[in-house]
Amino acid sequence: MPRQSTLKSEATRTRIFEAALRVFRERGFQEATMREIAAAAGVALGAAYYYFDSKNDIVMAFYVQAQQQMEPELEHILATRLTLETRLRGLVQHKFDYFAPNRALLGALSAHTDPDHPLSPFSTATAEIRNRDTGFFARAVSDSGVRMTPSILPYLPRLLWLYQMGLMLFWVYDKSAGQARTALLFSKTLGMFLLFIK
């Protein structure tokens, strides 16, 4: 019985979480309410609050899930690509591909860049996610054998993470077909970036 109860609880939480993402996509993050999310999930409002304290809590769960689901492919990219350029291209492109269904949601969340806001990618609340993601860039650099100015090396992983965030911000607002302008920006700036750090 406890096992069945746990499975039911997990299924309910997942249903609420997935309903919330649908509501966020359809209504926008700011306009969506916990009551609407509960209705979309087919649960009582109290049940929605039992699993998630707020909309912010749901978004944090989205961030964590995204990182967990992306990690196997990010690991594969680091294991199979040898150069820094192909590794960086792979890491960033995979994130574009993964987040494509939620591009509008990321656009709405991009308003929260103030480090004092818990959903900001620069906040204390997101530090663990940020540091883990930065770790992939650190490995991309250290395992590629690229020689660079020693004074740059300690700061490079965080600089690459910031570069990625800039690209993502451009991407969520890119209205060109298939976000072609982002692809062009990524291609041109990556080459410039690699020349700069060597």
Q: Which band of pLDDT confidence, cut at 50, 70 and 90, is reported for residue 110? A: confident
Radius of gyration of the chain (CA): 19
**pLDDT value of residue 3:** 55
Q: Which band of pLDDT confidence, cut at 50, 70 and 90, is reported for residue 135? A: very high
pLDDT mean over 15-35: 93
Q: Which band of pLDDT confidence, cut at 50, 70 and 90, is reported for residue 13? A: very high
Q: Which band of pLDDT confidence, cut at 50, 70 and 90, is reported for residue 28? A: confident
Average pLDDT taken over every residue of the chain: 92
H/E run at residue 103: helix 103-109
**117-129 pLDDT, tens per residue?**
999 999 999 999 9
Question: What one-letter code names the amino acid at 32?
Answer: A
- Look at the alpha carbons of 184, 188, 189, 193 in this order and tell me if their dihedral is positive or negative: positive
DSSP summary character for residue 115: T
